[in-house]
Amino acid sequence: MKKKYGAFAFALLFTMCTLAGCGSGGDYKEPVTAQVEIGANPQIVAGGLWHAVALKEDGSVLAMGDNEYGQCEVSDWSDIVSVAAGSFNTFGLKSDGTVVAVGRKDFDITEVEKWTDIAALDVGCDYAVGLKTDGTVVAFGYDEWGNCEVDDWKDIVAISAYAHTLGLKSDGTVVAAGGKVGEYFGQCEVGDWTDIVSVAAGANHSVGLKSDGTVVAVGDNRYGSCDVEDWTEIVAIATDGWDTLGLRADGTVLLAGRGDYWDYLPEVKDWTDIADIYMLQDRVVGIKRDGSMVVAGFGDTSMESWTGIKRLKAQAAE
């Protein structure tokens, strides 16, 4: 199970707003379409079940929470450019394109330490996915659902993983692998998507951010996770198992899914001046324009006190 996280997950690249006018008190400026480049939007925050990690400006990594399997033992990491996490694992992508991993070694998932030429990394349910600098994709770990069947993918510029894997192609279309688990909800039916600039995979739903700031979604909608058709001016997306987050160009956040259905994440809809968003398995993290963090959810929120967290170009813009 995963963040993403967030969404990540990982949203790896998105339509960025001209942040000089974003946030509370600023004049809104129209988003501009960013060129989709491999590895251009690294994942700064990640987390699994009861642990969280964040990438610092100096390439080191902070970690907190459950360490039963050593998933927080990252104090000696350096030269990290992106982080990812599974339920009981933590991964770091190094500046030389190699990967480091700590935590539970079920399904030999830490074999990813043999990977090279990796530009972006994401982690799903006991499996890891790496986007290589040549636009191909590698995956390793639990593959009962077909989520690692990415060997023939090419021209990929962004990836996202949970129980299925999404790949964003350079032409704005999307490919998917997996979804062969229990009841199929159509989460891999993304073949007709176009003009996509970011993707995010949930447990049984998929979300895509379009270049015009609107959002598309398919899959399990029992809790309203796919109710995003009226969203506009979105600059980033994130998912966890049953939720979808959308960051608007004005720095506010939209929420769809179980967190909204059961009203257990009401505070995120009051956030302002947000520059980036992440969904972990047990909490939601917003990074503000000033580099500080706000946290909501079930997990320990004391990571709000962390400083020196890496800021994306979008975050650093004035």
The pLDDT tens digits of the residues spanning 136-158 come to 999 999 999 999 999 999 999 99
Q: What is the pLDDT of residues 154-213, one digit of tens each?
A: 999 999 999 999 999 999 999 999 988 778 999 999 999 999 999 999 999 999 999 999
| Angstrom distance (rounded) from CA 209 to CA 14 | 7
Range 19-316 classified under CATH 3.10.180.10? no
**3-state SS, one letter per residue, for the chain:** CCCCECEECCCCCCCECCHHHCCCCCCCCCCECCCCCCCCCCCCEEECCCEEEEEECCCCEEEEECCCCCCCCCCCCCCEEEEEECCCEEEEEECCCCEEEEECCHHHHHHHHHCCCEEEEEECCCEEEEEECCCCEEEEECCCCCCCCCCCCCCEEEEEECCEEEEEECCCCEEEEECCCCCCCCCCCCCCCCCEEEEEECCCEEEEEECCCCEEEEECCCCCCCCCCCCCCEEEEEECCCEEEEEECCCCEEEEEHHHHCCCCHHHHHCCCEEEEEECCCEEEEEECCCCEEEEECCCCHHHHCCCECCCHHHHCC
20 confidence band (pLDDT: 50, 70, 90): very low
pLDDT, greater one: 3 or 97 = 97
Residue 311 has a CB neighbour count (10 Å cut-off) of 18
| Token pair for 88 | 């009981």
User: Does 292 score more than 60 pLDDT?
Assistant: yes
pLDDT value for 262: 85
pLDDT at 110: 67
Q: Is the pLDDT of residue 231 over 60?
A: yes
Q: Which residue has the higher pLDDT, 50 or 311?
A: 50
Q: pTM for the complete prediction?
A: 0.87
How far is residue 307's CA from residue 51's CA, in Å, rounded to a whole number?
Answer: 18
- What span, in angstroms and rounded, lies between the C-alpha atoms of 295 and 71? 20
Q: With cut-offs at 50, 70 and 90, classify the pLDDT of residue 16.
A: very low
The pLDDT score that the predictor gives to residue 13 is: 33
Least confidently predicted of 6-15, 264-273, 308-317: 6-15
Pick from 277, 240, 244, 274: nearest CA to 260: 244
Calculate mean pLDDT across residues 261-281.
Answer: 92
Q: What are the pLDDT digits (tens) for 75-116?
A: 999 999 999 999 999 999 999 999 999 999 777 776 898 999
